[in-house]
A and B are shown apart, each in its own frame.
Chain A
């Protein structure tokens, strides 16, 4: 339902960030977007949201093009940026002006969520902490019921209990006709939530795989449990050496996202080859 075709973008014409990028996202999934600092995760989210215009290529969401910025497109996309700006009004007034842009906005769900996050409708946005603003925005995004919800580092600034609440809310409001795309560095916060995993590096989507297909082909384990010839990537540790190896046993291991990320960035071709076999 989201198709990015032939997308080229850079902040200046001479310095291209994304060159000929192709990406397809399917509904009913919570995609995790991983990449190093400066790899372009936030830029990609802004391109998909239509907040930046590509030099070439198209971003299409449910048959509408981001570059048209039509009401039909905008009512189906909600973007939770890392840097938030709000007018200086109460949560209640803000939802009053924002919700009409989203026809499927669920007010009951919204007020439930903010109260679960310990906020009250009369709180003024400028008097709230970064974490509290984030909670308000996450609640708005989930309650908007848009087909596409983009979240840039949503767990940044959330305290420990709120991270758990965040995961519960995402699990609750995810549905078969929505796509969530979450960029993050905090993989441990979201390890049990994100699937498929998309990794961007040097202006390309270098990886876009479901956990199922990853674990079918790859084994996440320790060096003593596999043959050395099957090892693709190894991380030395004092207690044990963690490895990503070819899965010859048929065992289904738990994907260690940090290890996966490091393996993809350092052994790109071998990893892609192992997955395509």
Chain B
């Protein structure tokens, strides 16, 4: 995996796991690779993966069964959606508002476009 974005690597690994949850590649209740396995796979410091896992555990997206490993939590995809939604509201929406103001785009124009999009 190439870590191209400007975010810290541990955050990029969290994104990667969340993406797998949203796409259903890793289903709820499913066991995921150990810290070591994922570190080898991604060629990163195991401590970095451990950091990602512990943050995901705090968010309730994965959980640890002592001595067995990490699993995707029930309702994980809903939680990922919530996390992504608040990130979207916090980061993307203000940029979007700024741009429509700058370009003088009206709400009516946008809502028409959105209705077209929904019909497709």
Question: A132: CB under 8 A from chain B?
Answer: no
A residues near B43, Cβ cutoff 8 Å: 164, 167-168, 171, 192-193
Instruction: State whether the Cβ of B32 lies closer than 8 Å to any Cβ in chain A.
Output: no
Interface string of A13-42 (1 = CB under 8 A from B): 000000000000000111000000000000
Q: Is the interface of A mostly helix, strand, loop or mixed?
A: mixed
Residue B36 at the chain A interface, CB threshold 8 Å: yes
Residues of A within 8 A of B9 (CB): 192, 254
Interface status of A261 (Cβ within 8 A of chain B): no
Interface residue? A252 (CB, 8 A): yes
CB distance from B47 to the nearest CB of A (A): 7
A109 to B90, CA, bound (A): 48
Cβ contact within 8 Å between B6 and A194: no
The verdict on A221 contacting chain B, using a C-beta distance below 8 Å, is: yes
Residues of A within 8 A of B10 (CB): 252
Q: How far is the CA of A15 from the CA of B2 in the complex (A)?
A: 44
Q: Chain B interface secondary structure, helix, strand, loop or mixed? A: helix
Are the C-beta atoms of A254 and B45 separated by less than 8 Å?
Answer: no
Q: Which of B35-63 contact A (CB under 8 A)?
A: 36, 39-48, 51
For residue B44, which residues in chain A have a CB less than 8 angstroms away from its CB?
167, 171, 192-193
Q: Is the CB of A195 within 8 A of B36?
A: no
Determine whether the beta carbon of B36 is less than 8 Å from that of A254. no
- Chain B positions within 8 Å of A167 at CB level: 43-44
Chain A residues lying within 8 Å of B41, measured Cβ to Cβ, are 168
B79-95 interface mask toward A, CB cutoff 8 Å, 1 = contact, 0 = none?
A: 00000000000000000
Q: How many pairs of residues, A versus B, come closer than 8 Å at their CB atoms?
A: 58
Residue pair A168, B40 in contact (C-beta under 8 Å): yes
* A28→B36 CA distance, assembly (Å): 13
Inter-chain contact A172/B8, CB cutoff 8 Å: no
Within 8 A of A (CB), among B14-30: none
* CB-CB nearest in chain A for B5: A254
Among residues 136 to 174 in chain A, which have CB atoms less than 8 Å away from a CB atom of chain B?
Answer: 164, 167-168, 171-172, 174
A172 & B40 in contact (Cβ 8 Å cutoff) = yes
Residue of A whose beta carbon sits closest to that of B8: A252
- Minimal beta-carbon separation of A167 from chain B (angstroms): 4
A220 sits at the interface (CB 8 A):
yes
A171 & B36 in contact (Cβ 8 Å cutoff): yes
Q: Does B66 contact A (CB under 8 A)?
A: no
Closest to A195 in B: B45
Contact A253 B8 (CB under 8 A): yes
Q: Do B8 and A211 have beta carbons less than 8 Å apart?
A: yes
Q: Which residue of B lies closest to A253 (CB)?
A: B6
Alpha-carbon separation in the docked complex, A234 to B91 (Å): 25
B64, chain A: closest CB distance, angstroms: 17
Instruction: Provide 26 A-B residue pairs closer than 8 Å at the C-beta atoms, listed in order of the A residue.
Output: A28-B47, A164-B43, A167-B43, A168-B40, A168-B41, A168-B43, A171-B36, A171-B39, A171-B43, A171-B44, A171-B45, A171-B46, A172-B36, A172-B40, A174-B45, A174-B46, A192-B42, A193-B44, A193-B45, A195-B45, A195-B47, A211-B8, A212-B51, A221-B6, A254-B3, A254-B7
Chain A contacts to B: CB under 8 angstroms:
28-30, 164, 167-168, 171-172, 174, 191-195, 211-212, 215, 220-221, 252-255
Residues of B within 8 A of A (CB): 3, 5-12, 36, 39-48, 51
Beyond A171-B43, A253-B8, A254-B3: 14 further Cβ-contacts under 8 Å?
A28-B47, A29-B47, A167-B43, A168-B40, A171-B46, A172-B39, A192-B9, A192-B44, A193-B43, A211-B48, A252-B8, A252-B10, A254-B5, A254-B9
